[in-house]
Amino acid sequence: MSADLHILGICGTFMGGLAALGREKGLAVAGCDREVYPPMSTQLAELGIALAEGYLPQHIDPPPRLTLVGNALSRGNPIVEALLDRRLPYASGPQWLGETVLPGRRVLAVAGTHGKTTTTTIAAFLLDRLGLAPGFLIGGVPHDFPFSARLGTGAPFVVEADEYDTAFFDKRSKFLHYRPEVAILNNLEFDHADIFPDLAAIQRQFHHLVRTVPGNGRLIVNGEDAALAEVLAMGCWTPVDRFGLDGADLDWRGELLEADGSHLRLWHRGVLIGEGTSPLLGRHNAMNAIAAIAACAALGADPARALQALAQFGGVRRRMDLVGVAGDIHVFDDFAHHPTAIATTLAGLRTRVGGARILAVMEPRSNSMRQGAHAAALPHAFGAADEVHVLARPELRWDAQSALGTVGERLHVAPSVDALLAGLLDRVQAGDHLVFMSNGGFEGASRRFLAALAEKAA
C-alpha cells in the first residue's frame, strides 16, 4: 500500500514535525533518511511512522501520493533522481505546511540566528497553558508536549521560522512560506556560510519576511540588535514592538533580578507587568522568554499570566538538557553550534555553577563550522570553559589545533569520538559540568560518556 506522504529527510527536526502533523491529519506517512538518531527517531517510532534507511529509489515503490523533499537532499541523490525521472508529485516541507496546515490560522513565526527552538517552544507552552490550544511545529522535541508538532484546536499556530533555504528547487528561505500574523525577529548574525555569502544576504531574506507580515499584524523585534534595525530600515509596514533588557525606549523591557536569568521583572511601555521565575539559564534565555511573552500578548494572551506560567516551562531536549549525573559529574546535551550560542550557553551555566569546572565538548558539524567560517571566533566563545574538548575528524576543512591555539592548555583535540571520550574519562573530576555541543547526533557521545562513567564507578 502506498503512503499518502513520503518524507525525504524525515529524521530532521523540521521534517519529523511535518510527519507528526501529517499523521494527525489522518494521512499514511512514511519516510527515509541517511542518519537516524534520537530524539526525532524516538518520536517517529512512537507515532508508528515507518522509517527506511538511506535514500534508495525503492523506498518510493509503490509511488506515494506526494513526496516532501527535505533541504538536505540535492540533485544527484538517487531517490531525488528517481522522483524526477518518474514524474512523481513532490513539494518542499515549508510549501506543504504553508498550503495545507497554516491557512486560516493566526500564525506566529519565530525567526533569528539563535534561540528559535527555545522561543518557539516557550510561546507554544504559554499559549497552551493560557487556554488558547495552539498548533505548533518546533525544530526540536519539547519536554512539555508528547511530540514536536501538533495541529491544535485553537486559532494560533506557532512555527519555528528558519532562514535556511527551502529545497533544491526552491532557494528562498523557509520562512517565506508561512505568511505570519505575528513574527518574532530574535537576533541576526552571519551563519549558513554554505548558502549565504555575507550578513547582508541574510538581512535581505529577513526583509522579505518583514514584507509578508500584514499591517494589522505585529513584529516583535530585538531592540538591542543593530543588524535587525538595518532590516527594518529597508522598509516596514507593520507595527513593531521592540524588546530587550537594556534601553529605556523598549516596548517590552525586562530586568534580571538574578544573574543567572532565573528571576525576571517585566514592563510593557513603562507599565509593570510583574515578576516571574524561569527554569532557563542565562541572559539569552531571558530575552527568548520576553519575546515569547510579547508575541503571546499580540495574539491576545494576558502577559501577566504568561509571565507566571513561565515557571512551569519544561524546556527542550538538547537545549542544555541534563542527560544525567554520575559521581557528582553533571552531563548536559546542547545544540549550540555557532560561537555566540556557545558563548551564551557556557556563560549561563557559569552564573549557575559558580567556580565549579565546566568542560565544553564540541563537534564542529554544521556546514558553516565544517567550512571554518566561525573558526576565528571560537576561541573567545569558550571563555567560560575550564577545558575545551573538540572533535576534529579528518574531513574537517580547518586545523582545529592551530585555529583554537589561543585557548592554550585548556584545549584538547581528538580525531574520533572514541578518542574524545577516552580523553574525557582521564581528565574528568567530581563536581565537573560537561556540556556536549553539536547540531547532530554526535554519535551519542553524551550518553556514551555517562554510561562509561557509571561503568568506571562500578
Q: Looking at the domain 321-457, which fold is it?
A: Protein-Tyrosine Phosphatase; Chain A (3.90.190)
Q: Where are the domains of the chain?
A: 5-92, 102-312, 321-457
Look at 283 and 336; give whichever has higher pLDDT: 283
Residue 16 pLDDT exceeds 90: yes
**What is the pairing mode between strands 50-53 and 135-137?**
unpaired
370 band by pLDDT with thresholds 50, 70 and 90? low
Instruction: Look at 28-37, 93-102, 123-132 and tell me which has the smallest mean pLDDT.
Output: 28-37
Query: What does the alpha-carbon distance between residue 454 and residue 79 come to, in Å, rounded to a whole number?
Result: 43
Cα torsion 213, 265, 338, 419: sign: negative
Average model confidence (pLDDT) across the chain: 91
Query: What does the alpha-carbon distance between residue 295 and residue 218 come to, in Å, rounded to a whole number?
Result: 8
Identify the residue whose cell numbers are 538591542. 224
Residue 93 DSSP SS3 = helix
Number of other CB atoms surrounding residue 215 within 10 Å: 7
Tell me the residue length of the chain. Answer: 458
Highest mean pLDDT: which of 18-22, 369-373, 433-437?
18-22
367 band by pLDDT with thresholds 50, 70 and 90? low
Query: What does the alpha-carbon distance between residue 149 and residue 135 come to, in Å, rounded to a whole number?
Result: 7
Residue 453 pLDDT exceeds 60: yes
Residues 349-355: contacts with CB within 8 Å, 24+ apart? 349/281, 349/282, 349/320, 349/384, 349/433, 349/435, 350/384, 351/259, 351/260, 351/261, 351/281, 351/282, 352/260, 352/281, 353/433
Of 142, 443, 441, the C-alpha closest to 280 is: 142
Residues 278-294, buried b or exposed e (16+ Cβ, 10 A)?
Answer: bebbbbbbbbbbbbbbb
Q: Which CATH class is domain 102-312?
A: alpha beta
Query: What does the alpha-carbon distance between residue 105 and residue 346 come to, in Å, rounded to a whole number?
Result: 37
Percentage of the chain surpassing pLDDT 90?
Answer: 63
Question: Which cell numbers hold the place of 141?
Answer: 522535541
- 39 cis-preceded (ω within 30 degrees of 0): yes
Query: What does the alpha-carbon distance between residue 457 and residue 329 come to, in Å, rounded to a whole number?
Result: 12
pTM: 0.81
Q: Can you tell me the mean pLDDT for 162-174?
A: 94
Q: Looking at the domain 5-92, which fold is it?
A: Rossmann fold (3.40.50)
Residue 377 pLDDT exceeds 80: no
Residue 373 pLDDT exceeds 60: no
Query: What does the alpha-carbon distance between residue 172 and residue 178 come to, in Å, rounded to a whole number?
Result: 12
Residue 275 pLDDT exceeds 60: yes
Q: Which residues pair with 51 in a beta bridge?
A: 31
In the 3-class helix/strand/coil scheme, how is 129-147 assigned residue by residue? HCCCCCEEECCCCECCCCC
Residue 210 pLDDT exceeds 80: yes
Residue 49 pLDDT exceeds 80: yes
In this structure, what are the phi and psi dihedrals at residue 426, rounded to the nearest 5 degrees?
-75, -30
Contacts of 449 (CB under 8 A, 6+ apart): 331, 421, 424, 425, 434, 436
pLDDT recorded at residue 295: 98
Instruction: Look at 156-170, 204-218, 226-240, 277-291 and tell me which has the smallest mean pLDDT.
Output: 277-291
Between 199-212 and 226-233, two packed helices, what is the crossing angle to 10 degrees?
60
Chain centroid to CA 452: how far? 28
pLDDT recorded at residue 369: 62
pLDDT in tens, 20-37: 999 999 999 999 998 776
96 band by pLDDT with thresholds 50, 70 and 90? very high
Of 132, 129, 111, the C-alpha closest to 175 is: 111
243 band by pLDDT with thresholds 50, 70 and 90? very high
pLDDT in tens, 285-342: 999 999 999 999 999 999 999 999 999 998 777 777 888 888 899 998 887 767 877 8
The answer to whether the CB of 285 falls within 8 A of the CB of 348 is yes
